[in-house]
Structure 1
Amino acid sequence: MSMPYNFDELVDRKNTNCVKYDASERFFGKADVLPLWVADMDFKTPDFVVDTLKERLEHDVLGYTFRPDSCTSAIVNWLKNRHRWSIKGEWLHYSPGVVPALAFAVQVYTQPGDEVIVQTPVYFPFFSAIKNNNREMVENPLVLKGDRYYFDIDDLKKKISPKTKLLLLCNPQNPGGMSWTESELKELGDICLENNVVVVSDEIHSDLTFPGKRHIPLATVSDEIAQNTITLMAPSKTFNLAGLSTSFLVIPNKGLFDKYDELMKATHVYQGNLFGNIAMEAAYSKGESWLNELMLYIEANYDFMASFFKDNLPGIKPMKPDATYLVWLDFSSYGLKDKELNEKIVNAGVGLNRGVQFGKQGKGFMRINIACPRKTLEQALLQLKSAFAT
């Protein structure tokens, strides 16, 4: 069955001030790399989003704006239909992105010197959100068993102290790609409740579940856990809108909501931008069928890559994600130090994320972005083969 959307189409992103392509030399020391690293997609932003933006551009004034009720309704309906999560519009707040929201949350819910827990390996802006705000980072490393990470609950209990005020959760997990189960989330959430540790749950990849998989928002596990959870979400990864700097928070607890609201009123950065608001509403109103097709394509990309490695580079072990288009690759069988591994890959003309960026548990790993046309992925794999095949 053919798809109405053509994810095989090659889109030239060069010379658009694109971080992924135009900043390659800055990040990899050479410009001629196939960049499969930073988390945006090489597919066209969906037509129903672009057309809505073009329609707005027919008006000649781009003045001050606000989010209409229809935008709130689009978010509420999306969460109910996609994630079986019934929220109220008054629980929603906003941020220029999930990474800024992480930093805002650290500022709002902790004081300098307080402890914030992270579960490594994890998305590296978690680290800077803590350290750059003069908080103490406490690592509760995940445990790798087989082809999946698990919470280390015993270690978590030992690490929590009276100074511990916040835990940053990544759900779905980046870079591992697992969607945490309801029982895993309940155990974690209950421990945080018992110890008065607020949970900030980064759920930006929640929409990108593979066929047959389901994302469970932490705040849906119990009413008590919902009252102790700040959930961060955005349409940016899902619909390739990262350049529009638009995200939202779901905060059911009025006390926690009001604390966040105070900082937003003081900094005045929550208003958003005209095109981000328009794109978010269009994406959540019209995006379901496009997203379902996207995830079928990405799953096929994963299967293609896994088969390629099995047949050509069995020393590289991919961890199949439940969600996200980012895949954690285990290169440890080659016995290379991080710098050596990265240089070998860059010299092959491929740009990936270094595993140690995500914490010391990432040694021997690299992260690849497979949200690209199959031809691009195949070319990158062939170049890796030329470097690693014995």
Structure 2
Amino acid sequence: MKYNFDEVIDRTNTNSLKWDGLEKLYGDKELLPLWVADMDFKAPQPVIDAIKKQAEHGVYGYTITTDSFYEPLIAWLKKRHNWEVEKEWLTFSPGIVPALSVIIRAFSDPGDKIIVQTPVYYPFFKVAKQNEREVIENELHFDGTHYTMDFEDLERKMTPDVKLLILSNPHNPVGRVWTKEELIKLGEICRKHNVLIISDEIHCDLIRKGYTHTPLAAISEELRDHSITCLAPSKTFNLAGLYASTLVIPNHDHRMKFQRLLQNQATTSPNTFAVPAFEAAYREGEEWLEQLLDYLEDNLTFLKNFVNERIPNVEVVEPEGTYLIWLNFRKLGLDSRELKKLIQKEAKVALNEGYTFGSPGEGFERINIACPRSILEEALVRIEKAIKKID
């Protein structure tokens, strides 16, 4: 079927964090929200149909995961990423960030160090600090247009008390789709220092044409046994509110340790609607995804053309994947407080401030382009007008 991604769907008064949470989070409910990473699009129709069928059943008791829950994902990973995953490697989690918290407690102790590659998804900092671990920043190298890993800095920071490295693959917010060669080099350093890699691959299906996502654990047996991969349909199919994620943990000892701690928290069961949605998405959602990727590519082209032509003192960092675009405002010469005021108070747009992703994000903003083009255009026009007032 043909999906209409131009349709503007009113999400207000639906308990939407993105829309209804504006006043609490930003102090202004009139902002146009292009911040948190969910889409303003309806999920694939097969997912909607599966949820409706479950709702009509009328009994919403405790839920289990059976073979039918994992089989569509296994087939999806094989077809989309040429990655053969065995069912026993998989374990359910009610979200990736909660899983990170369990992993941190299972494989490190209070006071141990965890490496993140900044600028990076800010909950990585929060979940580490909440569990009394020290965050070590391995800052990505930025040449003005492109980000790469700084392996020399990473090697220097591999002290004996570093236990984990959290990898964002594809990277949020800079949009890099790490190459196989980069991942091999990263893996060599981590294995040498016995540092377990936690690979957050939640954006793995949102890849632009010309780029290929490489699952870290698919590269070699050594990396397979030295990593934990976090996956979810939430970004791919816009199902974040269902809280259904899967971890790939091929190493038996690692898997048992994680599952024991997860069971102690009584968080091993998905909600009633997550199961049919999860299965339908991976079994029947590919047609929707392919149309989505085309629409996102057109939105990106629109964004780049608009910025280049009408806001030339802002730069778009060319993404390779995800629908989260990293915008460079440094030419404006504003500090973080001034930039925040410009975007929120003057332009009346809600973006993610770059500094929240770590100090290398100072002067940047993250914009979510997974919305109807009319909303994206309105946000850019507002930003353009606000910048012209200070020129």
Q: TM above 0.5, one fold?
A: yes
Residue 278 of structure 1 corresponds to which residue in structure 2?
Answer: 276
- Secondary structure of 2:206's match? coil
In the TM superposition, residue 68 of structure 1 has moved relative to its aligned partner by 2.2
Residue 114 of structure 2 corresponds to which residue in structure 1?
Answer: 116
In the TM superposition, residue 145 of structure 1 has moved relative to its aligned partner by 2.0
Match of 1:101 among 79, 99, 102: 99
Residue 251 of structure 1 corresponds to which residue in structure 2?
Answer: 249
In the TM superposition, residue 50 of structure 1 has moved relative to its aligned partner by 0.7
Query: Normalising to structure 1: TM-score of the pair?
Result: 0.98
Counterpart residue identity of residue 58, structure 1: E
- Secondary structure of 1:336's match? coil
Residue 262 of structure 2 corresponds to which residue in structure 1?
Answer: 264
Bigger drift between 50-59 and 305-314 goes to 50-59
In 2: Cα distance, 1:277 partner to 1:355 partner: 35
In the TM superposition, residue 104 of structure 1 has moved relative to its aligned partner by 1.1
In 1: Cα distance, 2:56 partner to 2:137 partner: 51
Residue 300 of structure 2 corresponds to which residue in structure 1?
Answer: 302
The question of whether the paired residues in 2 share the 8 Å contact of 1:211 and 1:296 is answered with no
Match of 1:324 among 322, 325, 335: 322
In 1: Cα distance, 2:190 partner to 2:358 partner: 23
Match of 2:190 among 184, 189, 192: 192
In the TM superposition, residue 148 of structure 1 has moved relative to its aligned partner by 1.8
In 1: Cα distance, 2:280 partner to 2:297 partner: 25
Alignment of 1:1-390 (within 5 A): 4-347=2-345, 348-389=347-388, 390=391
Q: Give CA-to-partner distance per residue, 1:131-166, whole Å, 9 cap, x none.
A: 100111111111012422111111111101111110
Q: What residue ranges of structure 2 are gaps of 5+ in the alignment?
A: none
Counterpart residue identity of residue 28, structure 1: Y
Aligned length: 388
- Secondary structure of 1:366's match? strand
Bigger drift between 205-214 and 245-254 goes to 205-214
Counterpart residue identity of residue 93, structure 2: S
The question of whether the paired residues in 2 share the 8 Å contact of 1:122 and 1:174 is answered with yes
Q: Which runs of 4+ in 1 moved over 3 A?
A: none
In the TM superposition, residue 374 of structure 1 has moved relative to its aligned partner by 0.5
Q: What residue ranges of structure 1 are gaps of 5+ in the alignment?
A: none
Counterpart residue identity of residue 65, structure 1: T
Q: Give CA-to-partner distance per residue, 1:161-192, whole Å, 9 cap, x none.
A: 11111000000000001100000000000111
Counterpart residue identity of residue 191, structure 2: L
In 2: Cα distance, 1:176 partner to 1:60 partner: 44
Q: Give CA-to-partner distance per residue, 1:260-284, whole Å, 9 cap, x none.
A: 0110121120211111111111100
Q: Give CA-to-partner distance per residue, 1:190-237, whole Å, 9 cap, x none.
A: 111111100000000101111232111111111101100100010001
In 2: Cα distance, 1:39 partner to 1:228 partner: 29
In 2: Cα distance, 1:266 partner to 1:343 partner: 44
In the TM superposition, residue 79 of structure 1 has moved relative to its aligned partner by 0.6
The question of whether the paired residues in 1 share the 8 Å contact of 2:50 and 2:277 is answered with yes
- Secondary structure of 2:57's match? coil
The question of whether the paired residues in 1 share the 8 Å contact of 2:62 and 2:269 is answered with no
In 1: Cα distance, 2:119 partner to 2:58 partner: 47
Bigger drift between 164-173 and 269-278 goes to 269-278
- Secondary structure of 1:225's match? helix
- Secondary structure of 1:231's match? strand
In 1: Cα distance, 2:268 partner to 2:131 partner: 20
Q: Give CA-to-partner distance per residue, 1:93-116, whole Å, 9 cap, x none.
A: 111101111111111111111111
In the TM superposition, residue 47 of structure 1 has moved relative to its aligned partner by 1.2
Counterpart residue identity of residue 6, structure 1: N
In the TM superposition, residue 27 of structure 1 has moved relative to its aligned partner by 2.0
